[in-house]
Amino acid sequence: MNTTQEPLIFELSGEGRVGCALPKSDVPHYQLPAGLERDALDLPQVDELTVVRHYSRLSQKNYSIDTNFYPLGSCTMKYNPKVNETAAGLPGWRLSHPLAGEKYSQGSLELIYKLQASLAEIGGFKAVSLQPAAGAHGEFSGVLMIRKYLLDRGEAKRTKMLIPDSAHGTNPASCAMAGFETQTIPSGPDGNIDMKALKAALDDRVAGIMITNPNTLGLFEKKIEKIAAMVHKAGGLVYGDGANMNALVGVFKPGEAGIDVMHFNLHKTFSTPHGGGGPGAGMIAAGKTLAPYLPGPVAVKNRGQYGLQMPDRSIGRVKSFLGNFGVLVRAYAYILMQGKDGLRRIAENSVLNANYLKASLEHAYVVKYPHTCMHEFVAMGDVAPGIHTLDIAKRLIDYGFHPPTIYFPLIVPEALMIEPTETESKETLDAFVEAMLAIAREAVEQPQLLHDAPVTTPVGRLDEVQAARYPVLRYKA
Ligand SMILES: *Cc1c(COP(=O)(O)O)cnc(C)c1O
């Protein structure tokens, strides 16, 4: 995997080494106010080649979708087409200034307007706001919209949000931040929402429900329309977590199934770069009840001119300027490149790839909810006595694959959540299957190998809790 030569020492600085020679300063000396001046700055002293090698080496330690298969369930780590980068890098976008004003930003506003319209059409919604910067940010904005709508109707007592036990952890967190309490709705034996439990929870304190569809078991909520109708009848609203839209684009429109407000992750379904804390986009779409409450401003078109407008009952801004504009350009380029038929093929092939992997692995790894899956499925990693999902995941790294999402969703013990996406070839999927089956054999024959994994990486198994709680960010004391 990592064939780069490691440097023998970590400290690369050497007294007197410089990367470039600056001319003698011709700026008059300025005396800094007392206390601001330092005699010496403890910066590394390195030559240019050492710096280039250092950063090149570091960059090669990164695992990325451009280097290897990344079956991280629920995250839709699909290929990010390079043409998106070309589009986002066009000088007209790249050099535009957020304070240029509407008159000088007609092109940018047109793109925003058309992307809003495309996403509304794809989801079957009335209106879209591109403001939120991530899926969780979209959820938070959406539940704030629900809260404002209920307050407008004088229904302050509706403070309870229903959340299925298969939901992403961000759902209850968004609710709590928006001032709602949450009530968990269990899943039935088929992996769908338990309708009896839902019915029992629908009282006059219900503000709404947050539904992920397909859910995090990779299963389609078959009764989605019925669920939406029941919640509406009880006076609540329906939030759709659209992070898993990769299974549905071009096939199913959530807005037509009774979802009132929903976020899409442009960095999942619409191929914009993902992870590393970079800029994302978790746009939200709303049907006619909640459209006036969308965060703004949103792009509008009046007599051939594009402009910005706050929706009537808007919850306000949730992001500076127009969101992460470069990401929006990438998503729009992707949608234009796919067209209607291409979008449908994304859903079809992502479902096909996931079912191919499921069928190839389920004789070795138990799949607790064995129904035909959508874009992902959840297997179990306890394939031999004393072997845990963590061991399987770590051993996969030795085989050159990014591990799947593990220990999530919580309703499957020893969960391994696998999502191949539509962009992988059959050869890649077969290589992954071969690695997974080899690991299942190793689990029986050489369990210690799995407990020690990974063994091919610069560092072995880390104490992840310790690393997260007490990160050591400097190598010097
Ligand atoms: C990824 C994901 C989210 C959160 O999206 P972020 O962009 O990571 O904030 C929410 N729900 C589900 C089901 C997800 O997979």
Q: Which of 170, 211, 245, 274 for a ligand 1 pocket mutation test, highest count of atoms within 8 Å of Cβ?
A: 170
Lowest mean pLDDT of 223-232, 269-278, 319-328, 398-407, name the range: 269-278
- 267 CA from centroid of ligand 1 (Å): 10
Q: What percent of the chain has pLDDT over 70?
A: 97
For position 10, what pLDDT does the model report?
Answer: 75
Query: How far does the chain reach from its first CA to its final CA, in angstroms?
Result: 32
- Distance between Cα 463 and ligand 1 center (Å): 25
Please write the tens of the pLDDT for every residue from 323-376: 899 999 999 999 999 999 999 999 999 999 999 999 999 999 999 999 999 999
| Ligand 1 pocket member 185 (CB < 6 A) | no
> Average of pLDDT values for 24-53?
88
The per-residue pLDDT for 231 is: 98
Does the CB atom of residue 265 touch ligand 1 within 6 A?
yes
pLDDT at 477: 64
Question: What pLDDT score was predicted for residue 1?
Answer: 41
The answer to whether the CB of 255 is under 6 A from ligand 1 is no
Confidence label for 9 from pLDDT (cuts 50, 70 and 90): low
Mean pLDDT value across residues 85-103:
94
What pLDDT shows up at residue 278?
A: 66
Other beta carbons within 10 angstroms of residue 190's beta carbon come to 12
Nearest alpha carbon, ligand 1 atom 6: 135
**The predicted structure's pLDDT at residue 37:** 82
- Least Cα distance to 283 among 84, 109, 133 occurs for 133
In this prediction the pTM is 0.91
Structure tokens at 152: 């407008």
* pLDDT for the residue numbered 153: 97
- Assess whether the C-beta atom of 168 lies below 6 angstroms from ligand 1: yes
Would you say residue 4 has pLDDT above 60? no
| Amino acid found at 238 | V
Domains in the chain, CATH or no CATH each: 82-338 (3.40.640.10), 341-467 (3.90.1150.10)
Indicate whether 61 pLDDT > 90: no
To the nearest whole percent, how much of the chain has pLDDT over 90? 83
| Pocket lining: 454 vs ligand 1, CB cutoff 6 Å | no
User: Exposure of 431 by Cβ count < 10 A (0-12 exposed, 13-18 middle, 19+ buried)?
Assistant: middle
The overall average pLDDT reported for the chain is 94
CA 396 to chain centre: 22
Q: Average of pLDDT values for 38-58?
A: 89
DSSP secondary structure code for residue 31 in this structure: -
Give the per-residue pLDDT at 396. 98
Asked whether the predicted pLDDT for residue 71 surpasses 80, the reply is: yes
pLDDT band at 277, cuts 50/70/90?
low
Tokens read off for 58: 């570091």
Tokens in use for 358?
């499921």
pLDDT in the model for residue 29: 87
Substitution site in 165, 263, 265, 324 for ligand 1 pocket (most atoms within 8 Å of beta carbon): 265
Query: Tens digits of per-residue pLDDT, 125-168?
Result: 999 999 999 999 999 999 999 999 999 999 999 999 999 999 99
Section 227-242 average pLDDT = 98
What's the confidence (pLDDT) of residue 58? 85
